[in-house]
A = this chain, B = another copy of it.
Amino acid sequence: MPQSARIIQLVTRPNGAPKPGDFRIADIPLPDPGPGEVLLQMLWLSLDPYMRGRISDARSYAAPTPLGEAPPTEAVARVIVSNDPALAAGDTVVVYDQWRDHAVRKAADCRKLDPTLAPVQTALGVLGMPGRTAYTGLKHIGKPKPGETLVVGAATGAVGGLVGQIARLQGARTVGIAGGAEKCLYATETLGFDACLDRHQPDLAARLAEACPNGIDVYFELTGGDILAAVLPLLNPFARIPVCGTIASYNATTPPPGPDQLPALMRLILTRSLTVRGFIVGEFAADTPEFEAAMSNWLNEGVVAYREAISQGIESMVPAFIGMLEGQNFGKTLVKLA
């Protein structure tokens, strides 16, 4: 039984892009699990863009990670010791935890997984938070209708890839934007996007206009930046914009130089009767059973694909996180520990 846990501590708040030196690996003593508690060995840790916000002290919807502590993550773990009748040693669970390889937690904080139903790490991706984000953002805000055009950036990422596939299943024409030819090919060949544009090539705005001859009815906002700028002129009256990420600006230390486009955005919202709606996936927690049933069906029928960008070992956590924020991941970013 392990006596210590390896954890990744945040030692300095990143100024701009996070650097390896902003973090430190440390071994800390593990307490013995008390009544109602379990000792967990983490098998998979999730990396998601929202974590950039959690290590910043800018006001947001959740408190920042204190210096000296480990950032949050969702993890798939194996129960090593259980002092609660609800879980047994050997069980596999999902738990909202931290960047570390072992933990003592209340059994009640853990959700048991059936490892025979799907690869367990899908609980962090296609069947987990990213999947719920795509599903509920489309259901409640994007509402793509048959024949409408949906655009999403980060189109091969954990959320974007599912946004495109779910919208296509709902009858929309889907246009993705991704970084590089290989991702674009995967988006059209495997994920079924009607078109995918390489954001690294010039003239994104003109290419997007060409790819969206009937304008844009739903823009699922994950990225901001140049992609948003290219989308705005193409939005149709009554278009919907679920806002679930703005990764292009996560590392920004100051607002970009002018001119100030905020008044133009407000005027566009007015003149085109746009709906711009931010959301955090927890708002739609009540949809979890519906989502899980729908996504499990799609996976079983083979109509939804997903891809994982897996790195090995807790030492890979920080480099994988930094790379994800730069768009180097190709699919759902995961760190495999055991």
Contacts and interface: CB of A to CB of B under 8 A. Distances in A.
B283 A278 contact: no
B243 A270 contact: yes
Nearest to A256: B260
Interface string A45-59: 000000001000001
A88 interface: no
Contacts of A262: 228, 260-262, 264-265
Contacts of A53: 271
A3 interface: no
A255 B264 contact: yes
A273 B279 contact: yes
Contact of A259 (B254, B269, B279): B254
A259 B261 contact: no
Interface in A258-296: 258-280, 283
A214 interface: no
A261 to B, nearest CB: 4
Most B CB within 10 A of own CB, among A249, A260, A268: A260
Interface residues of A, number: 44
Given A262-B262, A264-B255, A271 B60 contact: yes
User: How many identical subunits does the complex contain?
Assistant: 2
Given A59-B271, A60-B271, A221-B266, A255 B244 contact: no
Given A243-B266, A259-B256, A272 B61 contact: yes
A257 to B, nearest CB: 5
Contacts of A261: 255, 260-262
A246 interface: yes
A327 interface: no
Interface string A221-252: 10011001000000001000001111011001
Contacts of A221: 266, 270
Contacts of A283: 273
Given A256-B263, A262-B265, A266-B221, A280 B275 contact: no
Nearest to A259: B255
Nearest to A254: B259
Contacts of A225: 263
A225 to B, nearest CB: 8
17 contacts: A53-B271, A59-B271, A61-B237, A221-B266, A243-B270, A245-B270, A246-B270, A249-B263, A252-B263, A256-B259, A256-B260, A257-B258, A258-B258, A258-B259, A260-B262, A269-B277, A272-B278
Interface of A: 53, 59-61, 221, 224-225, 228, 237, 243-246, 248-249, 252, 254-280, 283
